[in-house]
Amino acid sequence: MGNREDLMAGAKRCLIEKGYGRTTARDVATASGVSLAAIGYHFGSKEALLNAALIEATGEWGAMVGAVVAKANEASDDPEERFVAVWDGVRDTIAEHRGLWVAQFEAMVQVERAPELREALAGAQKDGRLGLAAVFQGLAEVSDTEEELARGTFYQALLVGLAGQWLAAPEMAPGGRDLLRGLEMVGGALLKPAGAWHGPAS
């Protein structure tokens, strides 16, 4: 690998081990085995490097979810059982890659005071949503359409919510069957005749 690749690998390792906010340029240089000056030369700043590393690491995690979906599709022809298996598997990957998810949540919290980070995450949103739409359908890619973006946005909301709940209280994080039951209840309420659902009591 060259210095750029070494820096990316070192930055990803630092994100997982130290988190987004606590990683210094010297940490990355040490983990990468390259000079501090190389960070500026290849990426412009430590922040730009960490942002790129976080986005790339998240994409690598997405490939793992693709394997989870493929395994669930092979295991059952029943859509509900596949849904449960997929989300149980997703929860397992969140647990396995806890450091990555901690780093992502740390980064999201800091966007208010870090325009460069906000721009990087916003720029990755669309690709991320289309990627999720593809992954959860067991496809290599999907077309850039409103339908696929809506699908990806739904999966993103479900995924980030699950990750947040797992990080806060792993023992209380929902499994696939809990999510399926909630989806059935919400879907059932939406299909009721107009006026039949009044929402929570005021």
In a domain, 61, yes or no: yes
In CATH, what number is assigned to the domain containing residue 132? 1.10.357
Query: Which tokens go with 101?
Result: 């998810």
CA-nearest of 109, 150, 108 to 129 is 150
Q: Which structural domain, as residue segments, surrounds residue 119?
A: 48-181
Interacting residues of 55 by C-beta distance below 8 A, sequence separation 6+:
120, 121, 124
Give the whole-number percent of the chain exceeding pLDDT 70. 95
In a domain, 130, yes or no: yes
In a domain, 143, yes or no: yes
In a domain, 60, yes or no: yes
| DSSP conformation class of 136 | T
| 46 residue type, one letter | K
* Per-residue pLDDT reduced to its tens digit, 126-171: 999 999 999 999 899 999 999 999 999 999 999 999 999 999 999 9
Range of weakest confidence among 40-49, 114-123, 148-157, 170-179: 114-123
In a domain, 94, yes or no: yes
In a domain, 18, yes or no: no
Alpha-carbon Rg for the chain in angstroms = 19
Separation CA 43–CA 148 (nearest Å): 32
In a domain, 119, yes or no: yes
Q: Which residue has the tokens 């630092």?
A: 14
In a domain, 19, yes or no: no
Looking at the structure of the chain, the number of domains it has is 1
Separation CA 182–CA 17 (nearest Å): 34
Q: Following CA atoms 106, 110, 115, 117 in sequence, which dihedral angle do they give, to the nearest 10 degrees?
A: 0
Interacting residues of 138 by C-beta distance below 8 A, sequence separation 6+:
66, 69, 70, 73
Q: What is the pTM of this model?
A: 0.85
* Per-residue pLDDT reduced to its tens digit, 172-189: 999 999 999 999 999 888
